[in-house]
Chains A and B, each alone.
Chain A
Amino acid sequence: MIAVGCAMLEFDDIQHILLTRAPALTGRYEFLSFRSAAGGQAWLSAISDKVQSAAAMRASVGSDKRWVSVAFTWSGLRALGVDEASLATFPEEFKQGMVARANMLGDTGENHPDNWIGGLVGPDLHAIAILFARDGAERKRCQSEHDSFVAQCNGVDILSSLDLEATPPFDYAHDHFGYRDRLSQPVIEGSGDVPTPGSGAPLQPGEFILGYPDESGMPYPLPQPEILSRNGSYMAYRRMQEHVGKFREFLRQHGQTHEEQELVAAKLMGRWRSGAPLVLAPVKDDPTLGADMQRNNDFNYKQMDPYGYAVPLGAHMRRMNPRDTAHNMNRRRMIRRGATYGPHLQEGAPEDGVERGIAAFVICASLIRQYEFAQNVWVNDRNFHELGNERDPIIGNHDGTLEFKIPKRPVRKKITGLPAFTTVRCGAYFFLPGIKALRYLGTRGNASQP
């Protein structure tokens, strides 16, 4: 890491989602299209007042009941009246959008954009409004308010929406498969957050927020004008269906006892579902360790598990953060936000065919260097760590022909014909502007616009 001195973060201009996590149990994403720049600007100028900065959220998180973020696609910026010269200064991968990058991202077969839902694949997807709410009643109130407001805006359409629901038990974050989540997040220098043991030093803000020095020692190039891009970031949105019935059936097929099934689940992830890392608890689950943020991320691979006897080389966690077994890790980190959606499937209940999963955002300063690298190299490279015929067992693209190898003495266990436990249902690239940029976009009154 190059020492560059810490630039002061402009907390009052950075959207809260970049730096903080809302204490929400529900939420809703609204995907919007602007038929006219005036309509889009009217919508934005009104909703900007409800978007909390990181500073505002920190000041009132105890009393607030809802948190709003807003972001735009490249065509959405154009729809709002941003001129072509400015649009040209955005990075190529953002301009192209997630759909155009599908093959490289591994979105083929069932995951191909041809199969996506929600009306998000066309250039008429312009914006997302992200609502996190403390409870269902508050979400309902916000939804109703937003619906009425959109109805008054001439030229604004809601393409689709997605309701978010935490899955029980509610005392800790986890996905529908039951894996404890939010255990390993990068910390931004100057944010005031302290990394948990094993999480590495805080990273330069420019890795996540535009306008600050990054780990190279220099700021990543800013799209122009600066008021539009400073304190902004990029977000890759992914809605991934989790096939819970299929996942549980897989565990039953590969484990005779409950303990064996839990071990198979742990090997796929790299952690027990309690969150306890296999490197520190290789044989038996340790829920106390899993819940202890001072201990549950404090491990490495190169010294502690070089051959993957604890965490298989192809396990989800080892792919998404290879720690000391990859180079330049500080240039590949990402901030994850989002939530689960769909109803909980009771343990023991048969698959009910209802869609449930994770609707998540990956936030980073460079989609091509951070998000796309992770997706292309870590998730879907079949030969990651010389594995030959594997992809990420949880979120990789699977068609039943790949395998998963579990190192074990004297001989490894090889599971062939790994099924797809997740399916990408839709996705998009968004730009998450700073608060001043939202006002700039919403009140430009660009005379050249129709």
Chain B
Amino acid sequence: MSDATKQQDWTKPAAMAIPEGGYFKDKMEQGRYGPIFPRTPACYGFSIIAKIIPGREPVFYEYARNIEEAVAGQPDILAVLKLHYLRWNLFKINGETYFQYMGIFDTDFDKYTEDAVAIFAASGLSTVFENLEGFPKDWKTNAQAFIKFVRDHQRPSFLEYGEYPFVSADEIKKALKLKAAFSNMLDQMQ
């Protein structure tokens, strides 16, 4: 079995310790906008943490309802991001509110930066970022400034774990479709 095949073995749960800074210096891969954080058993991902502009908390809760509606209305609205999961949190440190945005996905963020910016611009996903301190006002036309903000506020993992490592969301969806198809086939055989 090749190294690549071993790494892709979804039957074996795996963990990966990641050096300080988030990169393996000897295996650093360059993306269009800078080095790419490594793919781990928990796929690609980011954890963006930024301080919100004081008093803007209600906007975040309104934003949550908007996203819920947007995805319900157009389920593939975020498809280009190749996501598994997204989580949004608000929490306080020393009385100041911070925002955390964590994503797990199947492609490094740099690959689809411009697409992500376009989606955010078109879908109203923008509002929440505009309530973060230091977020570039010209982000809609300045992908570079957007990605710089994301990189500056990224807090890379030092450890990641996957119960079914390296499996993409598309593979999972294919497996579930296959299961449904077999189930349907058995129904038809009755």
Q: B-contacting residues of A (Cβ < 8 Å)? A: 92-93, 103-104, 216, 218, 221, 327-328, 331, 368-369, 372-373, 376-377, 381, 383, 386, 388-389
Contacts and interface: CB of A to CB of B under 8 A. Distances in A.
A92 B79 CA distance: 29
Interface stretch (B18-26, B56-64, B110-118, B123-131): B110-118
* Dominant secondary structure at the A interface: helix
Contact of B32 (A104, A328, A383): A104
A369 B117 CA distance: 12
| Chain B contact surface mostly | helix
B141 A104 contact: no
A376 B31 contact: yes
11 contacts: A92-B144, A104-B30, A104-B31, A104-B32, A221-B141, A327-B112, A331-B118, A368-B33, A372-B32, A376-B32, A377-B111
Contacts of B112: 327, 377
Contact of A327 (B31, B32, B80, B168): B80
A369 B30 contact: no
A278 B160 CA distance: 43
Interface string B25-63: 000011111000000000000000000000000000000
A443 B4 CA distance: 58
B114 A373 contact: yes
B16 to A, nearest CB: 18
A328 B119 CA distance: 9
Given A221-B141, A331-B114, A331-B118, 13 more contacts: A103-B29, A103-B30, A104-B31, A216-B141, A327-B119, A328-B114, A328-B115, A373-B111, A376-B32, A381-B111, A383-B107, A386-B171, A388-B8
B170 interface: yes
For the side of the interface on B, what is the size category? 20 to 34
B143 interface: yes
Contacts of A93: 32
Interface in B43-93: 79-80
Nearest to B28: A103
Interface-central residue, A103, A221, A327, by most chain B CB under 10 Å? A327
A412 to B, nearest CB: 14
Contacts of A376: 31-32, 111
A328 B170 contact: no
Contacts of B118: 216, 327-328, 331
